[in-house]
Chain A
Amino acid sequence: MDQTTLDMLALTLSQAVTDVCSMMLGEDVTVGTPDVAGRVPDHAGDGVRGSIDITGDFTGEASIHLPTATAIKLVSAFVGVDIKPDDEAFVDAIGELANMVVGSAKANFEGLNCSISCPTVRLIVEASESYPPPHLRLPVTGESGDFAIEVLLAA
């Protein structure tokens, strides 16, 4: 993927996560400078990841990756009640957040022809399960805590 496409991807994902948090959660967030080199985030061993497979002009996976404490706060704001991470409704909410962020970015990425999958959600409990360093990582800061949007491109 060339630099222009990566920049455009970062821009559309930044706008998408800002819109989703503002409109669906009532929370204003700030998206930091994209890390295009990629690195494993600090909370890799403790958190929740909602992922969407992408196929088409490029193939890979886009994720919302949250520390558990942040995820609990955001799900509460989303659903309107407190839900524990082992509840099926918690997993559903994280998956829907991922779906909205990636779907919204896809819609705003002019000229990109891609399809996205139904979301899958993983609870990350051990550092050994951590993700390979993503190709693009957007740090997000909000009242509920920090989290990240990550894109892993297929080789």
Chain B
Amino acid sequence: MKALVVDDSKTIRTIMQRSLAPLGFDEIVEAEDGQQALDRCGEGQPDLITLDWNMPVMNGIEFLKAYRAQGHKTPILMVTTEAEKSRVVEAIKAGVNHYLIKPFTPAQLKERIEETLQRAA
């Protein structure tokens, strides 16, 4: 399976890689912002996207709207410090499948990834 990890923090991308590999993701592609993520998706659709909200160039919501407008159904887990209810609602309306607020434990991340895949199945 292929995952796309979108976050401007290399630290978070490393943590995501570490969590995704044991869940069967043998190809993990990284992007530092929404625009890079759109470019990466042009090289082949992933089976899962983990998406930060606050990023330079193109933020997570902008990516989400552009990506869903292209008709792609890939499950997306938003992983962000944005915890206000209004933000969660905004993300869900824009097409995110699940939401995880930073900080998180490794167990919470694993659980949320699995739930995201189940919801989209």
Contacts and interface: CB of A to CB of B under 8 A. Distances in A.
A107 B9 contact: no
Nearest to A94: B11
A23 B105 contact: yes
Interface in B27-73: 54, 56
Interface string A90-129: 0011011001100110111000000000100000000000
A79 B104 CA distance: 14
A79 B82 contact: no
A103 B9 contact: no
Given A19-B103, A23-B103, A23-B104, A103 B12 contact: no
A100 B14 contact: no
Nearest to B14: A79
Contacts of A8: none
B79 to A, nearest CB: 11
A102 B95 CA distance: 27
Contacts of B8: 118
B111 interface: no
A20 B8 CA distance: 19
Nearest to B12: A96
A99 B12 CA distance: 12
Interface string A12-31: 00000001100110000000
B83 A107 contact: yes
Contacts of A108: 83
A96 B82 contact: no
Given A100-B102, A107-B83, A107-B101, 19 more contacts: A23-B105, A23-B108, A78-B11, A80-B15, A80-B18, A89-B11, A92-B10, A93-B11, A95-B9, A96-B9, A100-B103, A103-B82, A103-B83, A103-B102, A104-B102, A107-B81, A107-B84, A108-B83, A118-B8
A4 to B, nearest CB: 21
Interface string B90-102: 0000000000011
Nearest to A78: B11
The 6 closest A-B pairs by CB, nearest first: A103-B81, A107-B83, A23-B103, A96-B9, A93-B11, A20-B103
Nearest to A97: B11
Contacts of B18: 80
